[in-house]
Structure 1
Amino acid sequence: MSSLKMIWGGLAVLLLAILSFTANADVDAEDFVEEASAKGLAEIETARMALRKGTSPQVKEFAQKMIDDHTAANQELSGIARAKEDWEIADDAELMNKAKAFILRQRDGESFDQAYANNQVVAHEQTIELFREARELRDPELRAFVNKTLPKLETHLRMAKDLAAATGASEADRMNREGVDYNRGVDENRNMNNDRGFNNERGINNDNNVNTRPRPGTTTSPQ
């Protein structure tokens, strides 16, 4: 009986190891380094923009912290990647091109401070999701970097949400979404009314045709 338990115990350990290896294999170290670096560059460039265009002291203070923290994180990540001779990582120009997809885009009717605050909430939510998936990386140095950096990113997200509330960005974003929903509803009602009007008109025409149709047993005299 004890031998059987040992066999089953060994099989269970082996199965867990296989499952763990499969999960780890789903996260590619080089892809993570490139995407994390590009997102970090986007944070830095957007923060520099905020220092130039922002008007709120809270925005400027937050932006400077983003420059400091993300510059340090990118430098550490770059050092880890350079030490891996067999890794193929995009150069700075390619990373900057990737970063452009994440850089702030201001919407009509939105102040820069509000746009920046909203951008930072979304950007950090996406980066946190990336880092949480990367906790399954097999490379021990990258895993250590991820586990050290993730709490900082979560703190950034809380700060970004506070900044959004302070600048009115949260309210502006809600009103913008409600405006889109209202306009969509107006368009749908207009289309329904147009369809109803068309059907009513067709019904009137049908009634006219019925009224002008000759009764059975009668003839119409020529005009």
Structure 2
Amino acid sequence: MPYKFMFAGLILAIGCTTAAAAVAKSDKEFLSDAIKTDNSEIRLGDLATKKGGSDGVRSFAQTLIDDHRRAKDDATALATDLDVKITGIVTTEAQNEIEKLQSLSGPEFDKEFVNYMVSAHEKNISEFGEKAAEGGRPVPELAKKTLPTLQRHLQLAQSLSGH
């Protein structure tokens, strides 16, 4: 009788491990999403350099453009090796934000842009942290290399938002 419980426990443990692995993004999926995120930050940054109401927001936007172009170059180099299609597509969330920001200007634009950057970078740091923790392969190493830049962007956005 105890063997049945041990076997059931083993099946449960295997099932949980499989479910957890299914939730984690594959390297190809992560890299594809990272490129879309870079595209998004570049497009949003470009919009903010033109429409930002303050020097601080415009300067932050230029930092986003410069850093995410470099990050996209790094991701693109890996994408070729992993047969990941490289596109100019932005994330759905970013496209929605771009549409919202196009109707704003001045302090309203700045507030919306900065708040979006705080939440987007918190999400990105979490995802890049999970991938970086996998270690040992090129994509997790790229995530690990990118994390400090994302954390700096979050700090800059938070300083602009007053958090």
Normalised-by-shorter TM-score class: 0.7 to 0.9
Once residues 64 and 146 of structure 2 are traced to their aligned partners in structure 1, the CA distance between those partners, rounded to angstroms, is: 13
Residues 136, 28 of structure 1: alpha-carbon distance in 2 compared, 3 angstrom cutoff: farther
Matching of residue 161 in structure 1 with residue 162 in structure 2: no
Structure having the larger proportion of residues in helix = 2
Equivalent residue, structure 2, for 1:126 = 123
> Could you list the runs of 5+ residues in structure 1 that have no partner in the other structure?
1-18, 171-223
- Tell me which moved more, 107-116 or 62-71: 107-116
Rounded Cα–Cα distance in structure 2 between residues aligned with 1:51 and 1:60: 5
Q: Aligned partners of 2:104, 2:73: CA distance in 1, in Å?
A: 35
Q: Does residue 30 in structure 1 map to residue 28 in structure 2? A: yes
Question: In 1, distance between residues paired with 2:135 and 2:147?
Answer: 17
Query: C-alpha distance in 1, partners of 2:153/2:52?
Result: 18
Contact residue 128 and residue 143 of structure 2 kept, 8 A = yes
- Identity across matched positions, percent: 27
User: Is the 1:24–1:138 contact (alpha carbons within 8 Å) kept by the matching residues of 2?
Assistant: no
Answer yes or no: is the 8 Å Cα contact 2:125–2:150 preserved in 1.
Answer: yes
Match of 2:5 in 1: none
- Shift of residue 35, structure 1, vs aligned partner: 0.9
TM-score by length of 2: 0.75
Deviates more, 1:153-162 or 1:133-142: 133-142
1:90 aligns with 2:85: yes
Who is 1:147 aligned against? 144
- Structure 1 stretches of 4+ with a deviation exceeding 3 A read 22-27, 106-110, 136-139
The structure-2 alpha-carbon separation of the partners of 1:138 and 1:152, relative to structure 1 and needing over 3 Å to count, comes to closer
Q: Structure 1's 25 and 116: CA in aligned 2 closer, same or farther, altered over 3 A?
A: closer
Write the distance in 2 (CA, Å) between the matches of 1:34 and 1:75: 13
Does the C-alpha gap of structure 1 residues 55 and 141 become closer, same or farther in structure 2, counting only changes over 3 Å?
A: same
Q: How many Å separate the matches in 2 of 1:81 and 1:137?
A: 18
Q: Where does residue 3 of structure 2 map in the other structure?
A: none
Residue pairs, 1:39-188, within 5 angstroms: 39-84=37-82, 87=83, 89-93=84-88, 96=89, 98-103=90-95, 104=97, 105-106=100-101, 111-137=108-134, 140-165=137-162
Secondary structure of the corresponding residue to residue 90 of structure 1 = coil
Bigger mean CA offset, 98-107 vs 147-156? 98-107
What number of residue pairs does the alignment pair up? 140
1:99 deviation in Å?
Answer: 2.5
Unaligned runs of 5+ in 2: 1-16
| C-alpha RMSD over aligned residues | 2.6
Cα deviation for residue 161 of structure 1 reads 0.5
Q: Give the CA deviation at 1:120.
A: 0.6
Equivalent residues of 2:36, 2:87 under 8 A apart: no
Contact kept in structure 2, 1:43 and 1:70, CA below 8 Å: yes
Cα distance 1:137–1:123, how it changes in 2: closer, same or farther (>3 A)? same
Secondary structure, counterpart of 2:25 in structure 1: coil
8 Å Cα contact 2:132/2:142 also seen in 1: no
- Which of the pair has the greater relative contact order for Cα pairs under 8 Å at 6+ separation? 2
Once the two structures are overlaid, the 10-residue window that deviates more, 44-53 or 143-152, is 143-152
